[in-house]
Structure 1
Amino acid sequence: METASVVERYGGQNGRSIEWDARVDKHNSLQPIGHTQRRRSNQFSLSYFKAFFMDVFLPQGYPESVTDDYMEYQMWDTIQAFASSITGALATEAVLKGAGVGDETATALAATMTWLMKDGTGMVGRIIFAWARGTQLDSDCKKWRLVADILNDTAIMIDLLAPHFRFIFTYLVCLSSLCRSIVGVAGGATRAALTQHQVKWFIQ
């Protein structure tokens, strides 16, 4: 590549020397070699990060491998999951306070028993629900996906209200844990069914 050397002068004094690309662009102006290299480097960096993002977060062969509604569904599902995570964190804080965290009069034994009853109810509920409705989740995934979302919001609301009803606090957190156990089974099964529905073809 041919280059031309240009010397900048300030007030009659010699300035710095710059190498310019001898080729002219469509506006008949010269461009410095360094500027051209930086532009190509920036384009390479953007292409690399775009390819990395698509490889990590999008399915293989996107967008040809999925249906047209895939991106819209994922966008709203991501917003819903983000909102659920925020409210879930607030609900966990409320349950911890209700269990005695930060209360000097609360005992560790009482908090442990409450937590064991809460988790135990969830485990039993998960097993019973999977036994009773497990075969219906794939065939009617839209219905159970909606049920899972409603129960998840219900569980969060119960957790937020539970500390204000100390006399039935244990029963309330057990009920919210039961709702979440159904959410875990129904939500996981329906998500898999919906994902398979959006697949056009598989990459071996």
Structure 2
Amino acid sequence: MTAEAVRTLGLSYHEVVCDLRAAGVDDLNRIVTEAVIIMGNVDILVNNAGIIRRAPALEFTEADWDDVLQINLKAAFFLSQAAARVMVPQGKGKIINIVSMLSFQGGIIVPSYTAAKSGIVGITRALANEWAKYNININAIAPGYMATDNTAALRADAARSSSILDRIPAGRWGTPDDLKGVV
């Protein structure tokens, strides 16, 4: 779908595929290296990959914890590091981390997701402070409650969905179109 949308605009589309669940630092470095080979440089990195696993904290498994932290936190940090190694010599760059309202509110039955997204907020602050001198701009965006696969269970639960919608000023779940122009 993304490729088709980009090509419809008359632009070229390239992708570098990597299973972030199993990716080590070398794999994450390879993603950036391949992007540089294809495009010549890296101007922007958007850390948007994320998964969520739901279970009460007393029942949460180590495997689910590790999967979520691997994709949502570790991969984002090491992709940022790899991209910054290209951006520093360029003298500029932008890294955008997608976080969550749960970064600030906590959550119910999503301990690893809350920890990972809170960690991304902290990493965003730390890297922004450290890399500003290289003209690398780093921000986190918490788009609010979005209608995605990650929120399907919440939207399907009428009581929880209603409770969430009551707290959203627009009174509806967000869509990708709501983010146009934000970055």
- Tell me if both proteins adopt one fold, taking TM over 0.5 as the criterion: no
**Greater C-alpha radius of gyration:** 1
More helix by share: 1
Normalised TM-score (structure 1): 0.26
Normalised TM-score (structure 2): 0.28
